[in-house]
Structure 1
């Protein structure tokens, strides 16, 4: 997936459980979450890429589903692993993609969200599993950028408050 996204110059970063494996405690994760630095107007291009590598969209009406959720859920036909492609909508997500780190996996450069951005994503999601992930990341990586995290969490709080 990473190789094909890079070939087509589609900015991306791995988030979620796969990124937690990189920074925190190992745990079972059944899917791969990929935030994309493109808008949904590039859906057809993404579908061409994913079809080429053996992924199938899960929703019957893919376009309608993506327009409503900004997520393209797909399944790998060989491994049955689910991959969620998330179209970025905010300046924060676009900046987080730029801050991503390249990690070499089996001679392929794969971009993972920074540990600070994983912490932000997990706090924002706020489920018990996410909070446990945050704790494990902080314990294993005490030198993280607290100022960056506070800045974005404060901004999200303001944005969330304005919506209410």
Structure 2
């Protein structure tokens, strides 16, 4: 059974609370943020990007593992090797934590803004532009649907040049010259 919106919201707020108390910068990314910027849809987990410079990941991983259960027995080792910590909240919400060190991720955290995800529950989320880039990089079918929904809903408010600049950088890193094509198609249709 998929977690309800209140469970997702409370899990997201709990993660950010642990990080805030420790003064670790972070923000919510992924499907849970889609209703803020794009076309609402169901999701089953909460995705975060959390500042963890290269070589300094262990304190963040240990902090979160002290408050949340790992989704795999080797959660700590996996996180340190792959820069992704897979957790679960007490009420069963999957929590995916990307350990941020790349300039794009740091910018997403630094420019994050508050959003009332549920009545009385405020979280920090990445911008619409950052979310578009995250979705283009992931490039799964649902990610591209989400990206197009953000483009439609945000319209002229979307900073297209920001998306293109980071999209080109990721296209080069991924060796994927077509990374921006779905975005350009969505812009034309919007």
Using CA pairs under 8 Å that are at least 6 residues apart, name the structure with larger relative contact order, 1 or 2. 1
CA distance in 2, matches of 1:32, 1:14: 7
CA distance in 2, matches of 1:28, 1:137: 15
CA distance in 1, matches of 2:73, 2:31: 26
Match of 2:39 in 1: 25
TM-score (norm 1): 0.87
Structure 1 regions of 5+ residues with no counterpart?
none
Structure 1 residues 19-39: Cα deviation after superposition (integer angstroms, max 9, x where no partner)? 112111221100000100123
Between Structure 1 and Structure 2, how many residues are aligned?
159
Match of 2:105 in 1: 93
Q: Is the 8 A contact 1:74 1:84 kept in 2?
A: yes
CA distance in 1, matches of 2:24, 2:72: 22
Deviation at 1:111, TM superposition (A): 0.9
Q: Is the 8 A contact 2:62 2:76 kept in 1?
A: no
**Worse overlay, 21-30 or 112-121:** 21-30
TM-score (norm 2): 0.76
Aligned CA RMSD, in angstroms, stands at 2.0
Match of 2:22 in 1: 8
Deviation at 1:145, TM superposition (A): 0.2
Q: 1:82 aligns with which of 94, 97, 121?
A: 94
